[in-house]
Amino acid sequence: MKLLMQSSMSSDHSRDTTPMKVYTLLREQQIDRSLEEIFAFFSNPENLGRITPSTLRFEMLTPSPLHVKDGSLLDYTIRISGLPFRWTTLITLFEPPNLFVDVQLRGPYGYWHHKHSFRKAEKGTVVRDEVRYALPFGILGRIVHGVFVRRQLKAIFDYRAQALERIFAPRSKRSEYISSSSSNPGHGHK
């Protein structure tokens, strides 16, 4: 799939169309909690900071309380390699407790479409993320994707999976996480 990036090139309003390669990231994770609990967690944007690596310095700009529905706009900032990016997200589809879709209106990507879907499983809920994204700048964007962005997105979603395991771990496992993170003096929480 390719998208065309349009940019104004002159005062006569002619357009330059540069193809953008669209990439897809798919992730699934099973969490031993009810569909309703998991959907409530994911559909609350105030939880984004809990599942985002601290290196991105995620900061929600939209004032609380946040109520997500079709047409909701969310503003936040992240840092990528130290550079700040303001990100505006539009919720284009909201179907509790099974699905919601967010698209980037403003941010670091030329295109970002993130479908969050949830389904009951024998033990808990399966969370599925399907992210379609593209980088601007034609061949340069493709090079940056191959060298940096693909690995960075993988690391972000790996972190997220681990954070969800900690957040939704049974109480006995939470104790293990706490004791293992505090058993190494000088390397625990500050």
Tens of pLDDT along 99-121?
Answer: 999 999 999 999 999 999 999 99
Indicate whether 55 belongs to any domain: yes
Lowest mean pLDDT among 56-65, 74-83, 122-131, 165-174: 165-174
Q: Tally the domains of the chain.
A: 1
CA distance 93 to 157: 22
- In a domain, residue 132? The reply is yes
What is the average pLDDT value for the chain, to the nearest integer? Answer: 85
Q: Could you tell me the residue range of the domain that residue 95 belongs to?
A: 2-12+23-170
CA distance 187 to 190: 8
Residue 92 lies in a domain: yes
Instruction: Evaluate whether residue 124 is within a structural domain.
Output: yes
For 131-140, b/e burial (b = at least 16 CB within 10 A) is bbbbbbeeee
Q: Identify whether 177 is part of a domain.
A: no
Bridge partners, residue 124, by sequence: 121
Mean pLDDT of all residues in 24-44: 97
Q: Give domain status of residue 184, yes or no.
A: no
pLDDT for 74: 97
Q: What percent of the chain has pLDDT over 90?
A: 75
Helix (H, G, I), strand (E, B) or coil at 149: helix
Q: What is the CATH number of the domain that holds 146?
A: 3.30.530.20
- pLDDT of 170 reads 79
pLDDT of 18 reads 65
Q: Is residue 186 part of a domain?
A: no
Is 181 among the domain residues?
no
Report whether 114 contacts 130 (CB < 8 A): yes
**Confidence (pLDDT) at 1:** 52
Contact between 19 and 142 (Cβ < 8 Å) = no
- State the pLDDT at residue 101: 98
